[in-house]
């Protein structure tokens, strides 16, 4: 990849900005030279019930252990709500924009406080205590944020499951963390279509019950009023319960290292992992990155289009912005409903200043044509952000020039569920921008590139991205499986956190994320393991074996390409192909829909039986001229068949 055009910091950005280049350099130097001093200072940005005296306790070696501010006590909900009541009780905390453009709602900090306090009491009345796990399976409505904050207020640990996940996936997550309390809605609404959340929850609870976890209570928000099944003694209407509950609730004093939430994410092997984030360090890091990366100023209207079911929604719709007393916009709908101009209509309608979305949305809207954008004003915009996958320079330039009119910085933010907050990113007033590069590390972040043997690469280089020191927002463990945490992140390269991403550093010290180097796919910004799609496929009676790889996709970033070997005597028909697609959607969720299925009489395996994915990736990319050495294959002839029947002929 060659360097693209550089966009220098414009004078207007620098004037407005909290951080200029000299400040970035000075703070960064200090943050890595004296992390204790740096974070002791910035740890005070949140409000403590008991101040901390300890700062960083990190061991990335054999007994991996990470603690921040460990002897302090605080409450995340109090920081996100109560703390602001005196100064901004009547300021809007949440602007909710419905799927239907005629539906909206504004919630002030005072109203947020009352809703969260009432819900906290509902939780307590039903016996939810500190440390208990609560599953949240919700559409994008304010009650999703209330639910997260109410858990934080009473010290319960939330596990938000994206509303696009299937009953099976939801059940797996309920069982893994032993959660007996679920908060959901009757139905969700996206792009004019209904999502059967309660029906999915009912199915999930049945599956969980067969796997040893009995869900005792389901709190149901009435969103659409659609028909749902009702189980007396188990199901409780949200609106009835909060109305009965007291509006007075004291936040629990939580230890800094008490768990705040679990969020399941996919890895290269096995079932999804419960990424565990704790209380104080997470909040310090989420709020600090929200302020500086988006150059957030008091009074700004801030909009992140993510779903609360993903980490971006946790850190940059709910916790970061609310900790900073921001007005955060929550959008129930999708970018192309009622038409491809929706996002910009919403920007104008609510005078959004900071807008944060994913490359897949940018590429889709770019394809729909500039007219949808240019018919809006967008004059309120001050910062544009991108997250979730590499952004190709063409999409970056379109975002910058067409959406931002060439006047607004684009921050390409690299991070992960595991990192809690943004690690590599431009700062609007400090960083000259290079389209496609996430640019430079945030304060306290020490990136390192290593080759496959773990040799450290200096200067301009291409390698595997590791982080060599801890930061407050880092995940602490895999829920219930610390060994897996150590194995997954700290065993590939000893003493370092390995991100799973490939990365290039250029001569200016800018970082360019090149994508995952493991078997993790990123499809429209949705992360999934190839192994998960494979196990969904082989759970179908007709399938004997499956191998799944990603291939470049114009809109989605990556598409899902499946090689499927059928059981003896079963024929690969068009109907079966459709059935398998439907099967994977049912097992995982609609977003995991296979794009291509190729019938494979055999898969390329080494003599020891290992599938050679490198070859499968090349064929899926239609780059079979570069298959490399196939002589170690048990049966080299299978490759010829796969090449002849490839589904992605250019
Ligand atoms: O491969 C990187 C990609 O998304 C992965 C993390 O996915 P997830 O945990 O779902 O979190 C997504 C939202 C933070 C990373 O390992 N990724 C994320 N942001 C970028 C990115 N790749 C390139 N550029 C980015 N800005």
pLDDT value for 238 = 98
User: Is 325 known as a binding-site position?
Assistant: no
pLDDT at position 521 is 95
Number of neighbouring beta carbons within 10 Å of residue 100 = 13
For ligand 1, mutation pick of 388, 434, 517 (most atoms within 8 Å of CB): 388
Task: State the sign of the Cα–Cα–Cα–Cα dihedral 245, 249, 252, 258.
Answer: positive
Q: What confidence category does residue 1 fall into, taking pLDDT thresholds of 50, 70 and 90?
A: very low
418 sits in the region (left: phi over 0; alpha: psi -120 to 50; else beta) called alpha
In this structure, the residue with its CA closest to atom 26 of ligand 1 is 414
Name the residue of 164, 286, 358, 389 to mutate for ligand 1: max ligand atoms within 8 A of Cβ: 389
Nearest one of 256, 244, 196, 226 to 50, comparing CA atoms: 256
- Atom 7 of ligand 1: nearest residue by CA position: 416
438 alpha carbon to ligand 1 midpoint, in Å?
11
What does 390-406 look like in DSSP terms, one character per residue? PPPHHHHHHIIIIISTT
pLDDT band at 650 (very low <50, low <70, confident <90, very high): confident
Ligand 1 atom nearest the C-alpha of 438 is 26
- Is 388 one of the annotated binding-site residues? yes
Q: How many CA atoms lie within 13 A of 164 on its CB side?
A: 17
SS (H, E, C) 359-376: HHHHHHHHHHCCHHHHCC
**Protein residue whose Cα sits closest to atom 21 of ligand 1:** 389
The candidate with the shortest Cα–Cα distance to 537, out of 522, 527, 526, 548, is 548
Please tell me whether 233 is known to bind a ligand. no
Q: Residue 8 annotated as binding? A: no
Averaged over 179-191, what is the pLDDT?
98
pLDDT at 625: 79
Q: How confident is the model at residue 509 (pLDDT cuts 50, 70, 90)?
A: very high
Q: 145: CA distance to ligand 1 center in Å?
A: 23
Interval between CA 403 and ligand 1 midpoint (Å): 22
Please state which of the ranges 201-210, 557-566, 640-649 shows the lowest mean pLDDT. 640-649
The full DSSP string for 196-231 is: -HHHHHHHHHHHHHHTT----EEEEE-SS-------
Q: Quote the ipTM score.
A: 0.99
pLDDT at 541 over 50: yes
pTM value is 0.96
User: Whose Cα sits closest to atom 18 in ligand 1?
Assistant: 388
Give me ligand 1 centre to Cα 358, in Å: 10
Q: Would the pLDDT of 2 be above 60?
A: no
Whether the per-residue pLDDT at 4 is higher than 70: the answer is: no
pLDDT digits over 595-635, tens only? 999 999 999 998 888 898 999 999 999 987 778 778 788 88
Residues with CB under 6 A from ligand 1: 265, 311-312, 387-390, 412-417, 438, 499-501, 513, 515-516, 522, 527
* DSSP secondary structure of 122-164: HHHHTT--TT-EEEEE--SSHHHHHHHHHHHHHTPEEEE--TT
For the segment 185-196, the average pLDDT, to the nearest whole number, is 98
Structure letter (DSSP) for residue 424? B
385 annotated to bind ligand: no
For residue 417, the ligand 1 atom closest to its alpha carbon is: 9
Contact 221, 256 (CB under 8 A): no
Q: What integer pLDDT is reported at residue 269 of this predicted model? A: 82
Instruction: Output the CA torsion sign for 38, 40, 41, 46.
Output: positive
Give residue 17's pLDDT: 98
pLDDT value for 522? 94
What's the pLDDT at 3? 53
**In ligand 1, which atom is closest to the CA atom of 522?**
4
Q: How much is the pLDDT for 179?
A: 98
**528 alpha carbon – ligand 1 mean position (Å):** 12
């Amino acid at each position: 990849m060659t360097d693209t055009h550089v966009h220098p910091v414009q004078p207007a950005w620098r004037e407005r900005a909290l951080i200029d280049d000299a400040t970035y350099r000075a703070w960064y130097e200090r943050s890595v030279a004296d992390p204790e001093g740096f974070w002791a200072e910035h740890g005070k940005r949140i409000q403590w019930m008991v101040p901390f005296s300890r700062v960083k306790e990190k061991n990335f070696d054999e007994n991996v252990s990470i603690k921040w501010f460990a002897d302090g006590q605080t409450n995340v909900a109090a920081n996100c709500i109560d703390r602001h009541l005196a100064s901004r009780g009547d300021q809007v905390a949440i602007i909710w924009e419905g799927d239907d453009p005629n539906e909206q709602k504004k919630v002030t900090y005072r109203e947020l406080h009352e809703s969260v306090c009432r819900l906290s009491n509902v939780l307590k009345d039903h016996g939810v205590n500190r440390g208990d796990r609560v599953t949240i399976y919700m559409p994008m409505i304010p009650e999703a944020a209330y639910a997260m904050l109410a858990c934080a207020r009473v010290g319960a640990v939330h596990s938000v499951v994206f509303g696009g996940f299937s009953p099976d996936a939801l059940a797996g997550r309920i069982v893994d963390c032993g959660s007996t309390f679920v908060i959901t809605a009757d139905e969700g609404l996206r792009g004019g279509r209904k999502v059967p959340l309660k029906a999915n929850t009912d199915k999930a609870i049945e599956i969980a019950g067969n796997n040893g976890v009995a869900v005792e209570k389901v709190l149901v928000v009435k969103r659409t009023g659609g028909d749902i099944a009702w189980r007396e003694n188990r199901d409780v209407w949200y609106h009835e319960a909060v109305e009965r509950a007291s509006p007075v609730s004291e936040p629990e004093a939580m230890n800094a290292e008490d768990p705040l939430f679990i969020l399941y994410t996919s890895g290269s092997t096995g079932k999804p992992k419960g990424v565990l984030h704790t209380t104080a360090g997470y909040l310090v890091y989420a709020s600090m990155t929200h302020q500086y990366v988006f150059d957030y100023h008091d009074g700004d209207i801030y909009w992140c289009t993510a779903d609360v079911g993903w980490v971006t929604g946790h850190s940059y719709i709910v916790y970061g912005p609310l900790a900073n007393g921001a007005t955060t916009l929550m959008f129930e709908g999708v970018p192309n409903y009622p038409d491809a101009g929706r996002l910009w209509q919403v920007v104008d309608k609510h005078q959004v200043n900071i807008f944060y979305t994913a490359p897949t949305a940018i590429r889709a809207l770019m394809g729909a044509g500039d007219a949808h954008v240019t018919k809006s004003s967008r004059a309120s915009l001050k910062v544009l952000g991108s997250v979730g996958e590499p952004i190709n320079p063409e999409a970056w330039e379109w975002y910058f020039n067409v959406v931002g009119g060439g006047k607004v910085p684009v921050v390409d933010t690299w991070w992960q569920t595991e990192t809690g907050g943004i690690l590599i990113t431009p700062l609007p007033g400090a960083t000259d921008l290079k389209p496609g590069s996430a640019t430079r590390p945030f304060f306290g972040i020490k990136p390192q590139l290593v080759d496959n043997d773990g040799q450290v690469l200096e200067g301009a280089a291409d390698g595997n991205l590791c982080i060599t020191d801890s930061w407050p927002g880092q995940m602490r463990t895999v829920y219930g499986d610390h060994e897996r945490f150590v194995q997954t992140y700290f065993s590939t390269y000893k003493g370092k956190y390995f991100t799973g991403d490939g990365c290039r550093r250029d001569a200016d010290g800018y970082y360019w994320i090149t994508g995952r180097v493991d078997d993790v796919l990123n499809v429209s910004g949705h992360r999934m393991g190839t192994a998960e799609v494979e196990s969904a496929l082989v759970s179908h009676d007709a399938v004997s074996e499956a191998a799944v790889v990603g291939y470049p996709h114009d809109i989605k970033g990556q598409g899902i390409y499946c090689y499927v070997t059928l059981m003896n005597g079963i024929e690969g028909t068009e109907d079966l192909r459709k059935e398998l697609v439907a099967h994977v959607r049912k097992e995982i969720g609609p977003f995991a829909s296979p794009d291509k299925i190729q019938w494979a009489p055999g898969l390329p395996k080494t003599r020891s039986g290992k599938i050679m994915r490198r070859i499968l990736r090349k064929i899926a990319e239609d780059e079979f001229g570069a298959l490399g050495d196939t002589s170690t294959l048990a049966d080299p002839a299978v490759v010829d068949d796969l090449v002849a029947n490839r589904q992605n002929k250019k």
